């Protein structure tokens, strides 16, 4: 059996990911059905043991057991907010394009029109505004 910590968990969809102890680069997917007992106490940071197999999209955990909840006492939102960016602004600028809000709107609109020409103007606006809000929240756009 392997050990690790829950690093992401979507309670509504019933799945998440485990970071393996020992520094493996690939997180392991799990579904709540693989838990040996209820998932009501499951939270970010919860220590678990599990077996692993190769799934269609990568590693998949099964026979999942909660070891303790000591690491999972903080709320999911607090744990997610505590994750610091791993790339400095200078490195990020060298790695990718940095767009303004208007440039991002234009890029998203063009892509939606190319890939999904049947979308209505209202649908495009909704998707575009949600995408801009997400990008703004994560600091992916410049003012």
Which residues, 6 or more positions from 95, have their beta carbon under 8 angstroms from its beta carbon? Answer: 87
Which residues, 6 or more positions from 22, have their beta carbon under 8 angstroms from its beta carbon? Answer: none
pTM of the model as a whole? 0.48
pLDDT tens digits, 93-127: 455 667 888 888 888 888 888 888 888 888 888 89
pLDDT tens digits, 39-85: 666 788 889 999 999 887 788 999 998 886 554 443 344 334 444 44
Distance, in Å, from the CA atom of 54 to the CA atom of 84, rounded to the nearest integer, reads 30
Q: Where are the domains of the chain?
A: 2-81, 89-142
Angle, helices 101-115/121-138, rounded to nearest 10 degrees: 140
φ, ψ at 47 (rounded to 5°)? -80, 140
Q: Which CATH architecture has domain 2-81?
A: Beta Barrel (2.40)
End-to-end CA, the chain:
49
């Amino acid at each position: 059996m392997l050990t690790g910590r829950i690093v992401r968990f979507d309670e509504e969809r019933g799945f998440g990911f485990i970071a393996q102890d020992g520094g493996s680069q690939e997180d392991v997917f799990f579904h709540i059905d693989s838990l040996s007992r209820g998932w009501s106490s499951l939270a970010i940071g919860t220590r678990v043991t599990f077996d692993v197999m190769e799934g269609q999209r990568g590693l998949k955990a099964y026979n999942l057991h909660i070891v303790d909840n000591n690491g999972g006492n903080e709320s999911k939102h607090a744990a997610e907010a505590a994750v610091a960016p791993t790339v400095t602004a200078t490195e990020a600028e060298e790695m990718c394009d940095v767009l303004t809000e208007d440039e991002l709107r234009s890029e998203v609109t063009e892509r939606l029109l190319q890939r999904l020409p049947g979308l209505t103007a209202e649908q495009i606006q909704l998707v575009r505004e949600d995408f801009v809000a997400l990008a703004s929240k994560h600091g992916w756009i410049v003012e």
